[in-house]
A = this chain, B = another copy of it.
């Protein structure tokens, strides 16, 4: 059956966005790319500094509040509806809740053909790339590198520690059914 959704899960600075852009470039059909950054950018600015929304602590810890969860759940329903309506969608996310985060997506994407991809990167390397990016709170990469994969089941995993984004994308693309 044709793949309808690709879900990439990985910690901050693990290289998800680069892989997404390469996938969009090499896959024969057009794919929409929507990620957690898209969702955060769609929220009110005030929610990024409130206990109800999403909080980026100076040490890189990210916590989300009840209002974030409500919008996040509705967002996932919307993404699923886009796929059911015929758009092919690449989702990138950070499963802060590990297996529980995956279960929420599985529920939203029920009935759709999903390719689950883990994007891994050694913590020290991701932390270095976080410095090189310069636009992220230092510490996020390290605090998320392991926890986001706990208990999560994948169809395949890629590791950006020693492999370029394009090569990771080419690997993923071999598993996408057109």
Give chain A's interface residues, CB within 8 Å of chain B: 17-19, 21-22, 24-25, 30-34, 38-39, 41-47, 52-53, 67, 70-71, 73-75, 77-87, 125, 128-129, 131-134, 162, 164-167
Verify B19–A31 contact, CB threshold 8 A.
no
Please list 26 pairs of residues, one from A and one from B, whose beta carbons are closer than 8 Å in the complex, sorted by A's number: A17-B132, A21-B132, A21-B133, A22-B131, A24-B44, A24-B46, A25-B44, A30-B53, A30-B71, A32-B39, A32-B42, A33-B42, A38-B41, A38-B42, A45-B134, A71-B87, A75-B87, A78-B79, A78-B82, A80-B81, A81-B81, A81-B82, A129-B164, A131-B166, A132-B164, A132-B166
Cβ–Cβ < 8 Å partners of A71 in chain B = 30, 32, 87
Query: Contacts A34-B42, A44-B30, A128-B22 given: A75-B67 contact, CB under 8 Å?
Result: no
Q: How far is the CA of A47 from the CA of B21 in the complex (A)?
A: 12
* Given A129-B165, A164-B128, A70 and B86 contact (CB-CB distance below 8 Å): yes
Q: Name the residue of chain B whose CB is nearest to the CB of A168.
A: B132
